[in-house]
Amino acid sequence: MTSTSLTADTQADAREGAVAERVRKIRENQGAGVSRAEGWRRRGPLLPALIFMIVVTQIPFLFTLYYSTLSWNLVRPGSRQFVGLNNYIAVAKDSQFWRVGLNTVILIVGVVLISAFLGLLLALLLDRAFLGRGVVRTLLITPFLVTPVAAALIWKTTILDPTNGILNWVLSLVGIGPVDWIGQFPLTMVMVELIWQWTPFMMLLILAGLQSMPRDILEAGRVDGAGAFQLFRELTLPHLRRFIELGVVLGAVYLVNTFDAIYMMTQGGPGIASANLPFYIYQRAFLGFDMGQAAAMGVVVVIFTMFIASFALRLIFKSFSGKEEAA
Write out the binding residues for another protein, residues 37-76 only, by CB under 8 A.
39, 42-46, 48-50, 52-53, 56-61, 63-64, 67
**Residue 232 carries which side chain, given as an amino acid letter?**
F
Q: Which of 129, 174, 223, 287 binds another protein (CB under 8 A)?
A: 129
Smallest gap, in angstroms, from Cβ of residue 103 to another protein?
A: 14
Only one of the segments 76-84, 95-103, 233-241, 256-264 lies at the binding site for another protein (rule: CB under 8 A); that segment is 256-264
Helix (H), strand (E), coil (C) string for 177-238? CCCCHHHHCHHHHHHHHHHHHHHHHHHHHHHHHHHCCCHHHHHHHHHCCCCHHHHHHHHHHH
Q: Is 264 in the site for another protein (CB under 8 A)?
A: yes
Q: Whose Cβ is closer to another protein: residue 95's or residue 321's? A: 321
Q: Is 10 in the site for another protein (CB under 8 A)?
A: yes
Only one of the segments 6-14, 80-88, 179-187, 232-240 lies at the binding site for another protein (rule: CB under 8 A); that segment is 6-14
Smallest gap, in angstroms, from Cβ of residue 181 to another protein?
A: 14
Q: Is 130 in the site for another protein (CB under 8 A)?
A: yes
Please give the Cα distance from 278 to 191 (Å, whole number). Answer: 15
Q: Is 3 in the site for another protein (CB under 8 A)?
A: yes
Please give the Cα distance from 137 to 132 (Å, whole number). Answer: 9
Please give the Cα distance from 220 to 235 (Å, whole number). Answer: 11
Strand pairing partners for 290? 73
Please give the Cα distance from 295 to 65 (Å, whole number). Answer: 7
Q: Which of 14, 32, 75, 135 binds another protein (CB under 8 A)?
A: 135
Smallest gap, in angstroms, from Cβ of residue 191 to another protein?
A: 16
- In degrees, to the nearest 5, what angle opens at C-alpha 115 toward C-alphas 109 and 118? 140
Q: Is 312 in the site for another protein (CB under 8 A)?
A: yes
User: Coil, strand or helix: which one is 81?
Assistant: strand
Site string for another protein, 167-206 (x = CB under 8 A): -xx--x-----------------------x--xxx--xx-
Question: HSE-up of 319 (CA within 13 Å, CB side)?
Answer: 12
